[in-house]
A and B are shown apart, each in its own frame.
Chain A
Amino acid sequence: MSAHSGNGSRWGLRFLGLGYVFVLLLLPLGLIFYKTFEHGLAPPIDAITSPDGLHALKLTLIMVAIAVPLNTVFGVGCALLLVRHRVRGSGIIDAIINLPFAISPIVIGLSLFLLYGTKGWFEPALAEAGIKVLFSVPGMVLASIFVSLPFVVRETVPVLQEIGTEQEQAASTLGANAWQTFWRVTLPAIRWGVAYGVVLTTARVLGEFGAVSVVSGSISGQTQTLPLFVEKQYENFNLPGAFGASVLLALLALTTLLAMNVLKRKEDA
C-alpha cells in the first residue's frame, strides 16, 4: 500500500469513527444538557432538590453503597477461583456469571418475583420474619446486585491471567501465607482491573432501570431511584425535572470515571 492511499484510508477511518461516536453518543447526550439548562439553572435544580428528587438521589447512592462492595468482594473471589484454582465445573461457573449480560433486566426483575413475591419460594419464611423484599429497598438491592454482578469478575479474570503465578510463588518462598500474599502481592497487581470493574459496576447500578423498576413498584419518595424518578417526571410532562435528574445521573457516572482516571494518572506518575 502506498503512503498516499494509506493516508486517505486513515482519514476515512477517523471520520467514520468520530462521526459514529458523535451522532450516536455525543449528540443525544449533549442535547440533554442543552435542554436541561435551556431556561436557566432554576428549573432543573428545583426538580432535583424537591423531596422526591432528593430521596431518589439518596436511594440511588444506597444501592451503590450496598451492591458495589458486595459485587467487588464476590467478583475478586470468583475470579481467583476461576483463574487460580481450576475447580471442576469452572467452565460452567464462568458461563453462568455472564447471564446478567445476556438476560433482559425485565426478566431478572420477574425472576425475583418468583422467589420473593406472593406465593414465591422464600415468601412465607420472610413474611414470618417480617421482612418485606418486594416493593421495598431489599428487593431493589437484590436486583441491582444481579444486573451488575459480572463486571468485576470479567475485568479481573484477564488481569489475573496476565500477571501469572510467579509473583505469588515468590511471596510464598519469602514466608508470606496465602492471606498476606493476596493483600500484598496479588491485589496490588490486579488493582486497576478491579477498579475498572468497580467503575463499570457503579455506573450500571446508578443507571439500572428495568429490573429495579419491576421489583420496586416505583413509589415516589419511597422506592424511587433516580432513573425511576426520571421516568416519572417524564410521564408527568415535567421535562425540566426529567432532564435535570438525567444530567445529575450522567454527572455521577462521569465523576466515577474521572475519579478512576485521576487515580490511575497518579499511579503512573
Chain B
Amino acid sequence: MGITVEGASKRFGDFQALNDVSIEVPNGSLTALLGPSGSGKSTLLRAIAGLETLDAGRVMIDDEDVSKKPTQKREVGFVFQHYAAFKHMTVFENVGFGLKIRKWDKAKISDRVHELLRLVQLDGLAARYPSQLSGGQRQRMALARALAVEPQVLLLDEPFGALDAKVRKDLRTWLRNLHEEMHVTTIFVTHDQEEAMDVAGQLVVMNEGRVEQSGSADDLYDHPANEFVMSFVGEVNRLGDGFVRPHDMDVVLDPDENTEEAMVQRIVALGFEIRVEFVLADGTEVWAQLTRAELQKLELREGQIVYLRPGKTKSFSGDSPPNGSGASTPRGSQGGDDAEVSAAA
C-alpha cells in the first residue's frame, strides 16, 4: 500500500504550512518525515490521515485517490505524540475500540486484543487505565490500538517526542523490529535527525512547507542537496563559502598551504567523543569532533594556537545563508509547533 502525495498545499491564516509538496512512499517502507518545528511535516502526515483537508493537491493510498474520503474510511493507523489515550477506558478497551466500532464479536475482539498486547509487551496490564501507565507504556498501547484494525498504513506523529531519552531509544529499536515483522507501510514524523536515521530506511527532509530532499540516510548525509539539508542531517561548520562536517576537520600542529590558524577555545568531553571549539583569525567559530585518542595525541589545551585542515568541504552555489557563522542550527525553526498550528484550524 504505497502512499503518494501530489502538489499538497495548506494554509492556516497567514501561515503556509504546506507549499506544493509531493512525496512518494513505497509499499512496505518505513519513511521518516524530518524537519524543524513549523516545517509542515505534521500537517502533511495529518493530511494523509484526513485529519487536515488540503487547500490543493491530492493524497493517494494504494493508487486510490482518498482526498475526499473522511478519516474514518481511510483505514490509517495514527499514533499521536501525546498518545490520545481514551482516558475513561481500560487498556483492553482502548486497543479493542476500533474492533468494537467494526462490530466484531466479543470473543474475537478479546483474542485480537490480547495478541496485540503481547506484541507490544503490555499483556499483564489489560485491566489498567491509561493514567496508571508510564509514558512509554501508553505509547505502546496507542500503537497496539492503531494496529488492531489492521490499517493499510501506519502514521506516527512524533511518537517518541514526549518520552525521556532512554525510553526513546528502546522504542526506536522496538519500532524498527516491529516494522520488519509487520511490513505495513509506515510514515513517522520527527524533528530528531538521529532518530530518523536510526529508524527509517527512507527520509524526507522538510523545511518551511516544502520538501528539501528525500533519500536514504547515507544519501542525505553524503550528498545533501543544499545547505539546509546538510546542516539539518548532522552537524556542520561554515568556512567561507564551504561547509564541512566537524569529523572532517583535521587538527594539526604545523601549518601548510591547506591549513588555517585557529585558537582552541573550549574542550568538551562527551564520553568517547570530544568536541573541540575553535575561533579562527577572522572571528569565525568552528568545532571539530575528535576521539579521545586523537585528543591525547595532540595534547590540546585551551588557548593553544593550532591549524585546521578541513577535508571534504562542500559548497552550494547560489543561495547564501542569512547567518554567516558556523552555527549548526537550521533555519526556519521559528513559529510554533506544527501540531498546535493545525489544531487552530
Q: Taking beta carbons and an 8 Å cutoff, which residues of A are in contact with B?
A: 164-167, 169-177, 180, 184-185, 188-189
B72: chain A residues at CB < 8 Å are 172-177
Cβ of B88 under 8 Å from chain A: yes
B78: chain A residues at CB < 8 Å are 169-170, 173
The smallest beta-carbon distance between A178 and chain B, in angstroms, is 9
A169 touches B101 (CB 8 A): no
Cβ of B199 under 8 Å from chain A: no
Report the tally of A-B residue pairs with Cβ distances under 8 A: 65
A169 touches B51 (CB 8 A): yes
B88 touches A189 (CB 8 A): yes
Most buried by A among B73, B84, B142, B146: B84
A174-B149, A188-B86 given; 9 more Cβ-contact pairs under 8 Å: A166-B82, A166-B84, A169-B71, A170-B86, A170-B145, A172-B71, A174-B146, A184-B101, A185-B86
Residue total for B at the interface (Cβ-Cβ under 8 A): 29
Cβ of B221 under 8 Å from chain A: no
A169: chain B residues at CB < 8 Å are 51, 71, 78, 80, 84
Known: A166-B82, A166-B84, A180-B101. Contact between A173 and B146, CB under 8 A? yes
Cβ of B70 under 8 Å from chain A: yes
B101 touches A170 (CB 8 A): no
A170 touches B102 (CB 8 A): no
Most buried by B among A174, A175, A189: A174
The smallest beta-carbon distance between A183 and chain B, in angstroms, is 11
Top 4 nearest A-B pairs (CB, nearest first) are: A174-B98, A166-B84, A170-B84, A173-B78
The smallest beta-carbon distance between A9 and chain B, in angstroms, is 35
Cβ of B49 under 8 Å from chain A: yes
A173 touches B77 (CB 8 A): yes
- 14 intermolecular pairs with C-beta atoms under 8 Å apart: A165-B343, A167-B85, A169-B51, A169-B78, A172-B71, A172-B72, A173-B71, A173-B74, A175-B75, A175-B101, A177-B72, A188-B86, A188-B88, A188-B89
A166 and B89 CA atoms in complex are apart in Å by 15
B102: chain A residues at CB < 8 Å are 175
A166 touches B80 (CB 8 A): yes
Cβ of B97 under 8 Å from chain A: yes
